[in-house]
Amino acid sequence: MNKVTNYISEAFEELKSNVTWPTWEEVQKLTIVVAVFSVIFALVTWGIDTAFGKMLTVFFNWIKG
């Protein structure tokens, strides 16, 4: 149990003293960038899915004859 406590204590000390944290302004800007790219990626994925769905519908209607 002492090893676990020591590990957690050292991990928190590492986070406090050796990690370079971004400024609040950087966090806000990067959050906006991530949100915008997430929306763009979702729209592209939706568009591709819709296109493939329509192509499959056309293909199966063509096969049914």
Domain count, the chain: 1
Using CA of residue 18, residue 23, residue 26, residue 31, what is the dihedral sign?
Answer: positive
Q: Name the residue range of residue 38's domain.
A: 22-65
Give me the numbers of helices (H) and strands (E) for the chain, helices first please: 2, 0
The confidence score (pLDDT) of residue 65 equals 78
Question: Would 39 be classed as within a structural domain?
Answer: yes
pTM given for the model: 0.65
The confidence score (pLDDT) of residue 8 equals 95
The stretch 41-61 carries a mean pLDDT of 97
What is the CB neighbour count within 10 angstroms for residue 45?
10
Question: Would 30 be classed as within a structural domain?
Answer: yes
pLDDT digits (tens, 9 = 90+) for 1-28: 889 999 999 999 999 899 898 999 999 9
Name the nearest CA neighbour of 12 among 23, 4, 2, 24: 4
Question: Would 49 be classed as within a structural domain?
Answer: yes
